[in-house]
Amino acid sequence: MQRRPFLKKVRRIVVKVGSQVLTDGRGRLWPPVFFLLGGQIAELMEEQRQVIVVSSGAIAGGRSLLGFRSGRASIPEKQALAAVGQTRLMGLYEQALEFHGIRAGQVLLTREDLADRKRYLNARNALFKLLAFGVVPVVNENDTVLVEEIKFGDNDNLSAMVAILAEADLLVLLTSVAGLYPGGEETAGAGDPIPYVERITREILDMARGPAGPLGTGGMATKVEAALLATQAGIPVVIAEGRREGVLRDIVQAEPVGTFFPPTRDLLTHKKHWIAYTLKRKGAIVLDQGAVEAIVERGKSLLPSGVVSVQGNFETGDMVSCLDPEGREIARGITHYSAQEIRKIMGKKSSQIEALLGYKIQDEVIHRDELVLLRDLA
């Protein structure tokens, strides 16, 4: 199938650039690459397109500037490395873009920023305003306040979330290889990459498995996972080699560059996508078989009568997993009741909630509009 139908009206593009694209053989941020990217971004903007950059490289830059030994850094060390490296990283983007008369704007995010609905909307409004001013937002995870609980995990995942946040028309993941190869990263460079992936299946994800690079946290698997997130929100994705001359121009012109992932046909609503992929799971609810069938086969809400047990100590408004009697996750959703409250009303009818708690928030533990089936995520 051709790419052109998906790319002919692309106006807003998120470009994610990996650490291995931005660094030289010694792990130092390499200025020529920034100027190469700056020139291509300027070309896109001359065509009245908007560009958001999601950039790795802060920690890698800090390592080289501070002479930090190779190997795994602790969280406090990563925070310090990022504080030093982010300044250098932004300086290079500013120089590369100012050469073409374009301003860069720094945007640092944590998962917590996007998990809170109000902060999510504030971040989106800030991005829209920067784009309206003709600025190129340069987004990175805020590694200086990094703790595991608010971590995206990798900038591939972050770039997909930013693409959704910004309502982008295209996500481009620039990496050190030409795309997804049939044998995974071990065969990268041997022959041509897969040009077109119609649907991201479990087999495709398994194919992408491989080690992360020495400077980054993500390998090809995280890029394919990011492609899954974005395509389920209706955004096409291209994985391509970041140092290929004219790579961004060729991609928007629908040239056969890298690996292309079209948007899926069965799209999640914006809110359900946010529930499934942005929110952090705080616990789980185990259902009886009748509740499983009602949710999966008939699209019903989860009622207290269908709850068997509760795992964890979550609060009202948290995202929780719904498990079948064998412990398999079948859905994710936002709970109307806390774990403590559910333990008091589980197995009971909705009409009994007020008598048991002294109040009633909703008839449902999780309403179907805030419930995402796992079968819809693959």
Non-local (6+) Cβ contacts of 152 within 8 A are 109, 110, 111, 141, 158, 161
The DSSP line for 58-76 is: HHHHHHHHHTPPSSPPPHH
Which CATH number characterizes residue 214's domain?
3.40.1160.10
- Residue 215: predicted pLDDT: 46
One domain, residues 309 and 366: yes
Of the three residues 271, 292, 318, the one that is the final residue of a domain is 271
Going from the C-alpha of 190 to that of each of 180, 181, 185, 194, 287, the distances in angstroms are 11, 8, 10, 12, 48
Same-domain check for residues 186 and 297 = no
Compute the distance between CA of residue 363 and CA of residue 351 in angstroms, rounded to an integer: 8
In this structure, the answer to whether residues 126 and 226 fall within a common structural domain is yes
Which pLDDT does position 217 carry in this prediction? 46
Same domain, 97 and 176: yes
Q: Do 82 and 58 fall into the same domain?
A: yes
* Domain span including residue 36: 4-271
Domain boundary among 238, 254, 271: 271
285 and 259 together in one domain: no
Single residue among 237, 271, 305 that ends a domain in this structure: 271
Candidates 144, 127, 134, 156; CA nearest to 21 is: 156
308 and 354 assigned to the same domain: yes
Let me know whether 44 and 150 are in one domain: yes
105 shares a domain with 61: yes
pLDDT at 309: 97
Distance CA 135, CA 5 (A): 28
- Report residues of the chain scoring pLDDT below 70: 1, 70-71, 145-153, 183-190, 210-218, 266-267, 376-378
Find the CATH number of the domain harbouring 338: 2.30.130.10
Q: Are residues 94 and 73 in the same domain?
A: yes
pLDDT computed for residue 150 by the predictor: 40
Do both 179 and 77 map to the same domain?
yes
Residues 250 and 286 in one domain: no
Total number of domains in the chain: 2
Whether the model pTM is above 0.85: no
Q: What are the tens digits of pLDDT across the range 342-360?
A: 999 999 999 999 999 999 9
